[in-house]
Each structure stands twice: as C-alpha cells, then as structure tokens.
Structure 1
C-alpha cells in the first residue's frame, strides 16, 4: 500500500511540475473561405522559453493564416491562429512542434473537411450594374506615369552608357592624352639627373623605353616588342611617322643600342640633344596623325 502511495505521489508531482500542452480546433468542417480558429496552450512553463514556427508560418500549405497572436507569461503560453481554406477537400493540420527548454512538445493532428456550399443552379446577381467611366489624359498619366518614367530612365541610362563607351574610351586614348602623359614621363626622367651624372646607360634605357611605349600608343605600331632594326623598317613601310621624326627615332634608338652593349660612350651634349629631339618628336606627333587622317580621307 505504501509503495502504491509513493508511486501516485511521484506521478502527481511529475505532472504538477511538467509542461502540459493542449490544443483545440473550433470547427472540423468548413465552407470555402470560412474562418476557423486553432488554439494551443502550454501550462507549467516555470519560466522556460517557448520556441515554435514564426508568425503566420505555423500551418502548412492550403491553410491561409489571417491572424496569429501569441501570449506568454512565466507559467503560461497561448497561441491563437485564425485561418481559412480556399480549396475543396480534406486537409490535415499535422503535429505542430513547440520547444520548451530542451523538451519538444507536439499537438495532435486535425483533419479539416472543406466543402463548397454554393450550388450549380444558384444565380449570382450583381449588387449594382457596372458603370463606364471615361478617362481623361490626366487619368491615364496618373495610371501609367511610373511605367513611363521608368522607361524614360532606362532609355537615358542606355544613351549615357553608349556615350561613355564611345566617347569616354576615345578621349582616354586620344593623341593629346598620350602626348601629355609621355611629356610628364620625360620630365620625370630629366629630374633623375642621369645626364649631369654621366649615367648614360640608365638614361638611354629609360629614354628608349618611354619612346617605345609612346610610339605603340600614339601610332599603333608594335614598338614595344620589335627590335630596333625591325621597328625602323616598319616605320618606313607604314609612312605614318614623318621623315624628320623617323630620322630622330632611328638615330636615338641606334645610339641607345650601342650604349646598351657598351660600344659607345656619349657625352653630355649628345645626351642633351637626344633628349630634346625625342621631346620635340613627342610634341610634333599630333601633326603626323593629322596628316595621316587627311590622307585617309582623300
């Protein structure tokens, strides 16, 4: 007898301190679109947090939730869901999980029968006859102005991109830009004072490298990869560079090759002259391009 009393006491205490979940569905049979209510309650929370699906996401597909309210205090949790079903047939609300602390509590499943109460012979009457309303230009503008503005903005964006691609790239690669950039590089070379210090090898290496890059950009000739003799031959066949400029390039580049292989040792006057000649060639390059454009037009 004493053992039975102990067991009963244990069960009573366990139930007294454990969470109890209960659920209830208001109607098991619904008309199409009729509202129904599902209520879930949990007692004896003992300050435990309840976690479940987010609002309006608890019920499965076909159940359109219109309201979802949650109330909770230290010992009690209640969730009320208002829903409707807009398809005929039998639909099941499955077991719904609620996590209380480390425990998982589940509701019982419910089967909902949804019927169409309208009969085929029922006549549907409009409350009032439709009216025809004439729209003015202002009305059409109010209706479609967002679409019109969006279309205009898209057209403007396409035009802007076209202009940037066409003229932006052209401006960056224009003869004036290449000339100014190369003149700045020549000024930087001058500031290194290779001429004054007699460092003729470093001077000619950098001078010719600057000149090769300039010819490549300005005249579209592969000066950056050709040997000096090959470049001179290409320039003479191409006829884009004037004879005076060709002569300067040929003299300076050939001298630079001799300096590079220690076959000649130019003095300061020669280096000054070569630097000035290359600088003048860079400045005059636009005249070569203008003449070439005229020749193409003819």
Structure 2
C-alpha cells in the first residue's frame, strides 16, 4: 500500500513539474483552398527556451501556410498556424518537434482530407449583366498608346541602325576627309621652311612620305610598301589615277629618290613647283575616284 502511494505521489509530482504539450486541428476534412488551423500549446515551461522550425516553415510542402503566430510567456508556449491545401487528396501533418531545454516534445500526426466541393453541374452566375461600352478615339489611344509608341520606337531604332551601317562610317574613309587631312599635313610641311633653308633632303623625304600615305588611303594602292619604280608601274596599269596625276607622281617621286641618294641637288624653284604639283594632285584626286565609280557602274 505504501509503495502504491509513493508511486502515485511520484507521478503526480512528475506531471506537476514537467512540460505538457498539447495540439489540436480545427477540421480533419476541408475544401480546396479552405483555411484550416492547427494549435500547439506547451505548459509548465518554467522559463525554459522553446526551439522549433521558424515561422511559415513548420508544416510540410503541400500545406500552404497563411499565417503563423507564436506567443510565449514564462510558463506557456502557444503557436497557431493557419493553412490551406490546393490539391485534392489525403495529406498528413507529421509529428512536429519542439525542443524545450534538452527535452524534445512531439505532437501527434494528423490526417487531413481535402475535397473539391465544386460540381460540374454548378451554374456560375455573373454578379451583374454585361454592358456594351462605346469607345471613342481617345479611349482607344489610352488602351493601345504604349503599343503604338513601342512600335514607333522600334521602327526608329531599325532606321537608325540602317543609317549607321550604310553611312555612319563613310565620312571617316571618304575622299574628302582624306584630301583635307593630307592638305593639312602639306601645310605643316610648308611651315617647317625646308625650301627657304635649302634643306632639300628633309623636304623630299617628308613630301614623298605624305604622298605615299595619301595614295594608299585614297586609291587603295600599297604605295607605303612598294619601291618607286614598282609603284609607278602599278599606277599606270591600274588606270585609277588620271594621266596628269600620274605624271606628277612619277616626276616628284623619281626626283625624290635622286635627292635621297645625293644624285641631284634641286633649287628652290624646283622644290616649290614639286610642292605645288603634289598639292594640286591631292585636290584633283576626288575627280579620279568619281570617274572610277562611274566606270564601275557602267
């Protein structure tokens, strides 16, 4: 008798001072999308910390958590989770674990039956009858203005791309640009006053160098790498440069080679004439290209 009384007292004390977990689910059968809830309560905490899955992560995959509320005092832990299921069938809420201090408490599993309450024969009625609304031009503009503006912007972009591809890079390689650039280089050469000082070698070296770069760029001939005789022969066979310009190039380039190797010593008048002839050759070059383009068209 004393043993039974002692055992009863021990169990009573154990229950009185241990944590008690309880849980409940509102409905075991719910409709598709219907909100249900489960409540978990732990009593007799005595300031023990409760650890569990974070908010909105306690229930398994098929249960869409709508709201997860947690409240805790010194003695009570309370958690209410509202959820919905959007698939038909039977789904199980497994044992949910809650750690209180060093002790792990678990809820009992619950089976939830989800049904589709809609029937194929159900009639769906509009709240109110449809009305015919007459739209004017302003209304159509408000409806479709962004589509129209997007189409205009796309067309403008395509046109801009075509213009850039067709003409955007042309000015950089156009005959006029090459001519103007070479004329500026010739003016810079003149300012060095090689002619006045009698520095004929430097004058012809730079004059021919400028002329070679110009022929290479303007006529697409490899004047920058060919020897003078080979270049003159190529010019005559190519027929791109007019005969007048051919004579200028031949005379000045051959004289430049003679000066370079100290086989001739030109006077100031000859140097000024060669400079003027090359300058006029550069100016006339655009006519050579115009004629060449006409010949290709024919």
Q: What interval of TM-score do these two structures reach, taking the shorter chain for normalisation? A: 0.5 to 0.7
CA root-mean-square deviation: 4.9
1:56-205 correspondence to structure 2 within 5 Å: 84-89=84-89, 114-120=114-120, 122-128=121-127, 130-131=129-130, 133-138=132-137, 139-195=139-195, 196=197, 198=199, 200-201=201-202, 203-205=203-205
> Which residue of structure 1 lines up, in the alignment, with residue 210 of structure 2?
210
The range that moved more, 124-133 or 162-171, is 124-133
d(CA) in 2 for partners of 1:38 and 1:208?
A: 96
d(CA) in 1 for partners of 2:227 and 2:185?
A: 22
Q: Structure 2-normalised TM-score?
A: 0.64
Kindly tell me the number of residue pairs found equivalent between the two proteins: 263
After superposition, the C-alpha distances for 1:10-51 in whole angstroms (9 at most, x for unaligned) are xxxxxxxxxxxxx9987675432223568999x9899xxxxx
Q: Structure 1-normalised TM-score?
A: 0.64
Residues 26, 192 of structure 1: alpha-carbon distance in 2 compared, 3 angstrom cutoff: farther
The range that moved more, 207-216 or 125-134, is 125-134
d(CA) in 1 for partners of 2:116 and 2:234?
A: 89
Task: Give the conservation status (yes or no) of the 8 Å contact 1:198–1:267.
Answer: no
d(CA) in 2 for partners of 1:264 and 1:128?
A: 109
d(CA) in 2 for partners of 1:210 and 1:127?
A: 86
Task: Give the conservation status (yes or no) of the 8 Å contact 1:200–1:265.
Answer: no
d(CA) in 1 for partners of 2:281 and 2:178?
A: 13
d(CA) in 2 for partners of 1:58 and 1:197?
A: 99
Q: Which runs of 5+ in 1 are unaligned?
A: 1-22, 47-51, 72-77, 97-106
After superposition, the C-alpha distances for 1:170-191 in whole angstroms (9 at most, x for unaligned) are 3332221111111122223334
Shift of 1:154: 0.2
Q: Which runs of 5+ in 2 are unaligned?
A: 1-22, 72-77, 97-105
Task: Give the conservation status (yes or no) of the 8 Å contact 2:200–2:259.
Answer: no
Query: Max radius of gyration: which structure?
Result: 2
3-state SS in 2 of match to 1:117: coil
3-state SS in 2 of match to 1:223: coil
> Which residue of structure 1 lines up, in the alignment, with residue 248 of structure 2?
248
Shift of 1:159: 0.8
